[in-house]
C-alpha cells in the first residue's frame, strides 16, 4: 500500500530552498537605539543649536541709522519755504570770496492765533503795519579759518536804495528781504550768497522742541513788553521765555545788550540742537526738524547742504563781533539812530571782502 501524499494529485510540489542567512544590521551610532518610532534624541550637549540672528539685527539697526539722516535731509530740503530774496540789480557788488549769509529774525506774526500772540507777548498783529526785523546778523564763512558772526544793529543809520537815509530796519519794512539784502550789500561791500529768516512763533517752537535752552544771567531781567521776568543765575528758558530774552531791550545798553544776548543764545541753541541727546531722541529730533522747516524761509538757491555748512560754522568757534560803532544821534524822521565808525567799519568789511581774518583791533565786543 502506497504512502499517502501530502498534496493533491493536481498540484505541483513546491521546490524547497534553504533560507538565506540574515545579515546583521549595521551598528548604530553611539547614543542611538532602535525602535521608538525614529531616531532618539542626541545626548545633551550635542543637540544642534538654532542659528543666532543677532548680526542681522545689528545690520538692520545700522541701515536704519544710516537711512534716517538721509530721509531727514530729503524731508527738510523738500519742505523748506524758499523766497526770492537775492535780486540781481544794476551796480550790484561782484562776487566776494567765501560764503556770506544774512540771518534775519523777523517780528512776523503769520500763523499765530490771538492766544499765541498773547502767550509770546508779540503784540496784536492788527497794530503792526508790515513786517520788521528784530535781528540782523551777517555770517562770513571763509575758505579757511574761523567764521565771523557780525551783528548789524537794526537802528544802524544807512542809505536805503529808493528810500534814502534811515534805520536798517526800515529797509525790510519798506521792501522786504530783497531791499534789506540790497541795503546790506551797499553798506558793507559784501555780496550776500544766502538768506535765512525766521519768525516769532517758529523760534519759540524750535526752542521747545529741543527741551529748552539753559542761559546764565548776571542780573535779573524784567520786561513786561517782552513778557519775561527772569531771575539772575543759570536757568532753562522755555520757548516764550527765550523769545522774550532775545527781544528785550530793557537793559542799560538796550540794543547793544540785546545783540550780545542774541549771539549767546544762538550759539547755545545750535549746540543743543546738534547734540547727540537731541539727534538720537526721535521725540526731540522729529519736532525739531518739523518746526524748523515750517518756520524757516531761505533764498531760492539754498539747500540742505548749505544749511549744514552754516550750522557747522555757527556751532564751531566763530569770531563774534559787532560792526564798529561810532555813536548815537537823533535824526528828524528816524528818531535815535546808531552810527557806524566809518573808518573802522570800512576797514572791517574790506578785510572780510578779501576773505581775511579780522585783526584784533577791528573786533568789537558789546561795550567796548
pLDDT digits (tens, 9 = 90+) for 222-249: 998 888 899 999 999 998 899 888 888 8
pLDDT of residue 12: 60
pLDDT for 233 equals 93
pLDDT at residue number 323: 94
Pairing of strands 148-151, 228-230: unpaired
Q: How far is it, in rounded angstroms, from Cα 244 to Cα 251? A: 13
Residue 91: exposure state from Cβ atoms within 10 A (0-12, 13-18, ≥19): exposed
CA 333 to mean position of chain CA atoms: 40
End-to-end CA distance of the chain: 154
Neighbours of 215 (CB within 10 A): 21
Strand partners, 167: 157
d(CA 73, CA 76): 5
The three cell numbers of residue 320 are 563774534
Counting residues of the chain whose pLDDT is more than 90, the rounded percentage is 39
The alpha carbon dihedral of 117, 120, 123, 129 has a sign of negative
What is the structure's pLDDT at 290? 87
Q: What is the per-residue pLDDT for 368?
A: 41
**In this structure, are residues 189 and 94 in contact, taking their beta carbons and an 8 Å threshold?**
no
β-pair partners for 122: none
Closest residue by Cα to residue 236 from 256, 218, 214, 252: 214
Query: Which SS3 state, helix, strand or coil, does residue 340 take?
Result: strand
Extract the residue ranges of the chain whose pLDDT is less than 50: 109, 111-113, 116-117, 121-128, 367-368
Half-sphere exposure of 252 (CA within 13 A, CB side): 5
Residues whose CB is less than 8 angstroms from the CB of residue 81 and which lie 6 or more positions away in sequence, other chains included: 293, 294, 296, 297, 298
Residue 116, pLDDT score: 47
Give bridge partners of residue 340 from the DSSP assignment.
325
- Residue 350: predicted pLDDT: 96
Q: Is the pTM of this model over 0.85?
A: no
Per-residue pLDDT tens digits for 34-61 = 555 555 555 565 555 555 677 777 777 7
- The total of other beta-carbon atoms located within 10 Å of residue 264's CB is 15
Amino acid at each position: 500500500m502506497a504512502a499517502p501524499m501530502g498534496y493533491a494529485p493536481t498540484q505541483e510540489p513546491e521546490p524547497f530552498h534553504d533560507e538565506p542567512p540574515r545579515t546583521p544590521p549595521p551598528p548604530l551610532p553611539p547614543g542611538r537605539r532602535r525602535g521608538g518610532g525614529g531616531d532618539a534624541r542626541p545626548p545633551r550637549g550635542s543637540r544642534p543649536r538654532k542659528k543666532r540672528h543677532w548680526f542681522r539685527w545689528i545690520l538692520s539697526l545700522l541701515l536704519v541709522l544710516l537711512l534716517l539722516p538721509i530721509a531727514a535731509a530729503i524731508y527738510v530740503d523738500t519742505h523748506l519755504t524758499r523766497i526770492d530774496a537775492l535780486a540781481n540789480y544794476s551796480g550790484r557788488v561782484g562776487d566776494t570770496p567765501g560764503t556770506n549769509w544774512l540771518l534775519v529774525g523777523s517780528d512776523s506774526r503769520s500763523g499765530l492765533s490771538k492766544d499765541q500772540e498773547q502767550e509770546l507777548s508779540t503784540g496784536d498783529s492788527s497794530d503792526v503795519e508790515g513786517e520788521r526785523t528784530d535781528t540782523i546778523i551777517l555770517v562770513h564763512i571763509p575758505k579757511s579759518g574761523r567764521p565771523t558772526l557780525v551783528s548789524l544793529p537794526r537802528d544802524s543809520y544807512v542809505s536805503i536804495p529808493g528810500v534814502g537815509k534811515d534805520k536798517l530796519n526800515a529797509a525790510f519794512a519798506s521792501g522786504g528781504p530783497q531791499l534789506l539784502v540790497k541795503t546790506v550789500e551797499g553798506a558793507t561791500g559784501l555780496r550776500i550768497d544766502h538768506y535765512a529768516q525766521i519768525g516769532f512763533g517758529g523760534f519759540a517752537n524750535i526752542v521747545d522742541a529741543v527741551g529748552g535752552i539753559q542761559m546764565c544771567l548776571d542780573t535779573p531781567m524784567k520786561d513786561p513788553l517782552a513778557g519775561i521776568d527772569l531771575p539772575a543765575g543759570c536757568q532753562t528758558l522755555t520757548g516764550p521765555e527765550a523769545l522774550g530774552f532775545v527781544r528785550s531791550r530793557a537793559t542799560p545798553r538796550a540794543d547793544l545788550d540785546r545783540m550780545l544776548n542774541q549771539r549767546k543764545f544762538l550759539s547755545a541753541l545750535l549746540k543743543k540742537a546738534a547734540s547727540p541727546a537731541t539727534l538720537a531722541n526721535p521725540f526731540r529730533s522729529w519736532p525739531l526738524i518739523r518746526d524748523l522747516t515750517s518756520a524757516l524761509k531761505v533764498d531760492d538757491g539754498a539747500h540742505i547742504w548749505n544749511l549744514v555748512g552754516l550750522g557747522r560754522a555757527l556751532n564751531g568757534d566763530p569770531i563774534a563781533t559787532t560792526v564798529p560803532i561810532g555813536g548815537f544821534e537823533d535824526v528828524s524822521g528816524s528818531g535815535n539812530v546808531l552810527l557806524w565808525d566809518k573808518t573802522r567799519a570800512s576797514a572791517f568789511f574790506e578785510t572780510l571782502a578779501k576773505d581775511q581774518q579780522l585783526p584784533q583791533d577791528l573786533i568789537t565786543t558789546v561795550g567796548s
